[in-house]
Structure 1
Amino acid sequence: MKSRRRPYSEQHPFDAGGGVWSVPVPIPGNPLGYTLVYAIESPAGPVLVDAGWNHPEAWLALREGLGAVGMDVREVRGVVVTHFHPDHAGLAGRVREESGAWIAMHEADAALVRLMHDLEESAHRDFQADMLRRAGAGAVEVEEATGHRPRPPAVPDLILQDGDLVDLPGRRLRTVWTPGHTPGHVCLHLEDADRLFTGDHVLPAITPHIGIYPYDRADVDPLGDFLDSLEKVKGLGELEALPAHEWIFQDTAARAAEIGVHHEEKLRRLTALLGEAQEPLTIWEVASRMTWNRPWEELPPMLRGMAAGEAAAHLRTLEVRGMIRRMAGADPVRFVLHS
């Protein structure tokens, strides 16, 4: 079954078959348009995969969308959050308030949610500003790109680990840990139907943002984790994919392979870019010279910050592979081809 990407105004809840329903929930002011929330039937009440953005319009769409397919949000048994981003986890707390549902999340993302709740808004802005400065952004760019964060999502009740079965009576929904897009991103394998809820890990036409924060961290490799996670999903076989954006599609393994090739090509281009440079480059300089969906000069401050995070993740993978090195003691941090 396919439901090709259309504007949110043309989206409607629909029967995805096998006791699974798809409910589009809008993301106001975001070009992605909407999140596809899935409701899985069970004798003890439906379990949701993700919940959508925390906004009155989104809440209305979720509540009415469930109603349109014969479900009541007050009867929801639980919400499995594929990852902590606000377009996925934002409404989970509201669902819990209405129904008493549990919220489940992988332990790595749950730790980030707890950290977000503990972090003062001023501390968050200081963190952003210092990160941007160390990446090589100018003072004006730092000021423009430092903004307010969304409200943190609800702290989960249940912690998931790789291989855990979700509390879904009558079905077998297994947690597949797929770090990369976030440290605790999970896909969910509906084993009794050979289907995979892919969250943002594998999408049919676009690729998820893979960033590193702070940009100059040298103790993690999110793109390397993401590429490993693609291999993990490929190993599950030709499953039908139910992603959080765009449309349902066939053969998750084939699409995972395509995305891996895309990032390897991006790494090759980045290596060439560093080789052509006359001097070591900052993360910000690298990002400004990479190819995005529009010219760097046209990217708004928030998207420049995300581009820098993506550039940093690719630089870090090249560093781990021994292709490049960072200049010792440089502030802002700079990278050069490994000699």
Structure 2
Amino acid sequence: MNTPPPITVVNVGYRSTNYWVVSAGTSRLLVDIGWPGTLGTLKAHLARVGIPLCEIRYALATHYHIDHAGLAEELKREGVQLLVLEVQLEAIPIMKTWTKPGDHYLDITEHGNIIISFEQSRLLLGQMGIAGEILHTPGHTDHCVSLVLDNGFAFTGDLPAEAYAFDNPVALASWQRLRAKGATSIYPAHGPVWPIGEAPSTPSS
């Protein structure tokens, strides 16, 4: 019986935003996608850690703000499929309203998008060799999602840290959902990794 490859996580982020490559061997998922117009920068960061862009099968935006999803269409043109949760669909065209001509943003088209429900996420990830699921975790925006692996790693985007969300009941409910799914180590979009239940060194955006 073949033993599945261990899950590895590498940060290829820049400009104060973390972009996490979650891998099972050479089957890879990029969590949060990059600023518009920065494909060359992302490629350079991938090359620095020895990850070929062609091995990234899917890209997942935790939410559709330009520092998290601005590079989506450029990556799709490189062969990376965009994984979109149904709850995120209406947010995609709105993101453009926050861009400027100098951002060199490319509109996200429907071609190359894989639209799934939260219930379908475990099966799709399992086909990649990644045990986990995607959860709806509003609190920063209504369409925020988090990736939670069965090993306890949780990729939460800009979900406000639990320690700073005392006046945000929506975010607190999202943290309860993450705990119920076994989250133990938080991989945020900004700042260092931290254990759930502790205050991070800096609040999440």
Task: Give the TM-score band, short-chain normalised.
Answer: 0.7 to 0.9
Residue 40 of structure 1 is matched in structure 2 by: 22
1:249 aligns with 2:203: no
Shift of 1:243: 0.9
1:84, 1:113 within 8 Å by CA — same for their partners in 2? yes
CA distance in 2, matches of 1:225, 1:237: 19
| 1:23 maps to 2:12 | yes
- TM-score normalised by the chain length of structure 1: 0.48
Separation in 1, partners of 2:149, 2:135: 10
The alpha carbon displacement at 1:244 in A equals 0.9
Q: How does 1:252-263 map to 2 (within 5 A)?
A: 252-255=196-199
Residues 226, 238 of structure 1: alpha-carbon distance in 2 compared, 3 angstrom cutoff: closer
Normalized per residue, the structure richer in strand is 2
Q: Is this contact kept in 2: 1:109–1:182, CA < 8 A? A: no
* Cα pair distance change 1:155/1:205, threshold 3 Å: farther
Runs of at least 5 residues in structure 2 that lack an aligned partner in the other structure: 1-5
Are 1:172 and 2:128 counterparts?
no
Query: What is the alpha-carbon root mean square deviation over aligned residues?
Result: 3.2
What is the CA deviation profile of residues 258-317 of structure 1, one whole-angstrom value per residue up to 9, with x for unaligned ones?
x8xxxxxxxxxxxxxxxxxxxxxxxxxxxxxxxxxxxxxxxxxxxxxxxxxxxxxxxxxx
1:276-295 matched pairs, under 5 angstroms? none
Is 1:229 matched up with 2:183? no
- C-alpha displacement of 1:95: 1.4
Structure 1 residues 42, 152: CA separation in 2 closer, same or farther (over 3 Å shift)? same
Higher relative contact order (CA 8 A, sep 6+): 2
1:69 aligns to what?
Answer: 49
Residue type of the partner of 2:57? R
Q: Which moves more between the two structures, 150-159 or 66-75?
A: 150-159
1:239 aligns with: 184
Tell me the residue number matched to 2:118. 162
TM-score normalised to the size of structure 2? 0.76
Change in Cα spacing, 1:92 to 1:116, as seen in structure 2 (3 Å) is: closer
- Could you list the runs of 5+ residues in structure 1 that have no partner in the other structure? 1-16, 27-33, 125-146, 211-222, 260-339
| C-alpha distance in 2 between matches for 1:95 and 1:65 | 14
Q: What is the percent sequence identity of the aligned residues?
A: 26
**Aligned residue for 2:155?**
197
1:106 aligned partner, one-letter code: L
User: 1:92: Cα distance to partner?
Assistant: 1.8
Tell me how far apart the structure 1 counterparts of residues 26 and 76 of structure 2 sit (CA, whole Å). Answer: 15
Deviation at 1:253, TM superposition (A): 3.9
Query: Which has the greater radius of gyration?
Result: 1
Q: State the secondary structure of the residue aligned to 1:24.
A: coil
Q: CA deviation at 1:74?
A: 2.9
2:128 matches 1:183: no
Verify the 8 A CA contact 2:163 2:198 in the aligned structure 1: no
Cα pair distance change 1:204/1:181, threshold 3 Å: closer
CA distance in 2, matches of 1:238, 1:104: 21
- 1:1-339 counterparts in 2 under 5 A? 18-26=7-15, 34-43=16-25, 45-55=27-37, 58-98=38-78, 100-114=79-93, 151=105, 154-155=108-109, 157-163=113-119, 164-165=121-122, 166-167=124-125, 169-191=128-150, 193-203=151-161, 223-237=168-182, 239-250=184-195, 252-255=196-199
